[in-house]
Amino acid sequence: MLDDFLVRAGLAGIGVAVAAGPLGSFVVWRRMAYFGDATAHAAILGVALALIFSVPVTAGTLIVALAMATGVSWLATRGHAMDATLGVLSHAALAAGLVAISFVPGVRVDLSAFLFGDILAVGKSDIAVIWGGAALVTALIAWRWSPLLTATLSEDLAVASGIDPRRERLVLTLALAVVVAVALKVVGALLIAAMLIVPAAAARSLSRVPEAMAFWAVAIGALAALGGLAMSYLGDTPAGPSIVVVAAGMFLLTTLVRRR
């Protein structure tokens, strides 16, 4: 019989995969990898603010991640160079969060748990939050699936079809903030972007239609979570990085299969 903490960790990892799979597909299609990275780095600032104001860490992370994603989207519409803007905001938010945490009085914080995740320490309440977030993201993406695909293919085509590309970008922004908030406990701020991008990139080699890519991204993410936990349990390696390593291995495998 598996230990309870491993069962909880497995459920948490699968929940993150369910949330990150479909959203990660849009991140890959829209080439938003750095956008996701910047939003994830802002999560550390959310942790610091949550500790300062004594609110739940998930709530603080969600608010700051949403603010960062919304701010970046607003700057994108103003013609700013996105690579430089994202670089500045990403590293500034991460650094500000690390500095702010050091000023929280009377609180000892294990920063590695927030940077690289601590999936083995998730509790029942964490699982409820993760699966609640996964359900919200899945429902949001399913509801806007067709308009999101149209806006991703061509914003001009979306406008001609009566779809507002800015609204669809806002939907992705909200979904990204939710995924960052629920995934922080599992893989940490530095690895969230990897769980968005790597399974979706691996799924692209196995898919011919968008729906299949979203499905395979969820499946690969779930297998990576379970495989990473097995590696961590058997080899005494860090759980969060192990999950990403397994996902990267699956990306390499699917790439080789596609070439053959």
pLDDT digits (tens, 9 = 90+) for 90-100: 888 888 888 88
Average pLDDT, the chain: 86
Q: 183-204 in b/e burial notation, b at 16+ Cβ within 10 A?
A: bbbbbbbbbbbbbbbbbbbbbb
Residues of the domain holding 73: 4-259
- Write the CATH number for 76: 1.10.3470.10
In degrees and rounded to multiples of 5, residue 249 shows phi and psi of -65, -40
> Taking a C-beta distance cutoff of 8 angstroms, is the pair 181, 63 a contact?
no
Q: What is the pLDDT of residue 115?
A: 82
Q: How confident is the model at residue 229 (pLDDT cuts 50, 70, 90)?
A: very high
**Residue with the two structure tokens 């291995």:** 249
Q: What is the pLDDT of residue 76?
A: 65
Percent helix, percent strand, percent coil in the chain, to nearest 5: 85, 0, 15
Give the number of domains in the chain: 1
Comparison of pLDDT for 84 and 20, the residue scoring more: 20
In this model, does residue 260 exceed pLDDT 80? no
**What type of residue sits at position 79?**
G
> Taking a C-beta distance cutoff of 8 angstroms, is the pair 68, 85 a contact?
no
> Taking a C-beta distance cutoff of 8 angstroms, is the pair 44, 116 a contact?
no
Q: Is 110 buried (19+), middle (13-18) or exposed (0-12) by CB count in 10 A?
A: exposed
User: CA angle 180-175-210, nearest 5°?
Assistant: 115
Give the model confidence (pLDDT) of 183-221 as tens digits: 888 888 888 889 999 999 999 988 889 999 999 999 999
- pTM, to two decimals: 0.88
